[in-house]
Structure 1
Amino acid sequence: MNTDAGTRRVHVIQGEYKVVNDPDVVLTTILGSCVAACLRDPVTGVGGMNHFLLPGSVETMASGGDATRYGVHLMELLINGLLKQGARRDRLEAKIFGGAKTIARFSNVGEQNARFARQFLMDEGIKIVGESTGGEHGRKLEFWPSTGRARQHALTGVETQRTVALEQRQPIPAPKPAESSIEFF
């Protein structure tokens, strides 16, 4: 439920990134093992979010395939998009979310995604001001780029499995948020 009158919701799906400078926009996404990086310039109010499935590397990018699945590609696009809208690299701050271990019998790609995002931001000199990664359940995320406010809702086990299916690009209805929520400032 949207309690912020006048707010326009823009959903970011896997393989996408969005950059906005409108204070009336909230960016949203749903994460399982995927990670979303939320970056902003607190002076200009320009901010954005990406949503990636795998960390990736220069080598994986060179070998071809779908670049939009990889964090290395989407992190670069997000940062460049922010800079084009007037943000300054030295003022960027980040919050990262997701990276759950959603299926116990599989490798922990969620942990690898979160580790990649932290390392990438550190290498770029971008300060991480908030993080909620790991665990066994997915998250519904809302991010207000102009203020840096972020709020997440934990997903139940069934909702998390639906999110995993979405991450594998299977058409299943989007999960609803659980009752509990955490707000990050």
Structure 2
Amino acid sequence: MTRCWVGIGEIRQAVRGDVLAAVLGSCVSIILWHERSGRAWMNHVLLPQRLLERADDEPGRYADESWRMMQYQLLKEGVALADCCCYVVGGGYGFGQGPQDVGGRNVAQVLALLQQAGVAVDSSDVGGNWYRTVQFDPDDGLLRVRKYQTVPPRRRLAAARSQGV
């Protein structure tokens, strides 16, 4: 078995005998599994969309661009999106919610993109005060997610203690 780590901004394909893996905090992964062929694809999205144009930036970092790239890979491989199972994982908020909740915005963007494409999400594990390790095995379609609670930074903890919390 070969473990294929999917880094930020990457899209990786795995076949039988491989396992796709990632570590996700506020990042989100879409996992597509084509059971008949024993192939799976996983992306690793950092942000919902690109706000500034940078020449050195990778398009796979952004949910909208990464999703288009995944669809193109399926088309190139001759795999119909409708024949794939879809899983969404990640989007933990870590140290705070609100406007800076990148994980929540990532999840919302990914789910909106999938809905626009008519893709039903078969299973998801998103949000919360967690970071996750994710493994997907195309042999049997088993998705393994381990959650680890994030710990607040010391200064926030000290402030809470001083307020009697």
The alignment's TM-score, normalised by the length of structure 2, stands at 0.82
Match of 1:143 in 2: 136
Amino acid of the residue matched to residue 47 of structure 1? A
Match of 2:2 in 1: 8
Match of 1:84 in 2: 76
> C-alpha distance in 2, partners of 1:133/1:46?
23
Amino acid of the residue matched to residue 98 of structure 1? G
**Superimposed CA distance per residue, residues 33-67 of structure 1 (whole angstroms, 9 cap, x where no aligned partner):** 0001101222322211000111116xx4xx52222
Gaps of 5+ in 2: 154-165
Kindly report structure 1 stretches of 4+ aligned residues shifted beyond 4 Å: none
Mapping 1:115-126, distance limit 5 Å: 115-126=108-119
CA drift of 1:93 comes to 2.2
Contact 1:34–1:110 under 8 Å retained in 2: yes
> C-alpha distance in 1, partners of 2:29/2:140?
17
> C-alpha distance in 2, partners of 1:47/1:68?
17
Match of 1:177 in 2: none
Q: Identical aligned pairs, as a percentage?
A: 28
CA drift of 1:73 comes to 1.1
**Superimposed CA distance per residue, residues 101-131 of structure 1 (whole angstroms, 9 cap, x where no aligned partner):** 1121661110111111111111111121000
Secondary structure, in 3 states, of the residue corresponding to 2:42?
Answer: strand
Match of 2:158 in 1: none
> C-alpha distance in 2, partners of 1:31/1:146?
23
User: Which of 145, 150, 153 in structure 2 is aligned with 1:157?
Assistant: 150
Mapping 1:65-84, distance limit 5 Å: 65=54, 66=57, 67-84=59-76
> C-alpha distance in 2, partners of 1:9/1:115?
29
User: Which of 18, 28, 32 in structure 1 is aligned with 2:25?
Assistant: 32
1:49 matched to 2:42? The reply is yes
Amino acid of the residue matched to residue 32 of structure 1? G
Contact 2:13–2:39 under 8 Å retained in 1: yes
Larger Rg: 2
> C-alpha distance in 2, partners of 1:73/1:146?
28
Secondary structure, in 3 states, of the residue corresponding to 1:94?
Answer: strand
Gaps of 5+ in 1: 1-6, 162-185
Contact 1:46–1:86 under 8 Å retained in 2: no
Secondary structure, in 3 states, of the residue corresponding to 2:122?
Answer: strand
Q: How many residues are paired up?
A: 149
CA drift of 1:146 comes to 4.2
> C-alpha distance in 2, partners of 1:72/1:126?
15
1:101 matched to 2:93? The reply is yes
Secondary structure, in 3 states, of the residue corresponding to 1:128?
Answer: coil
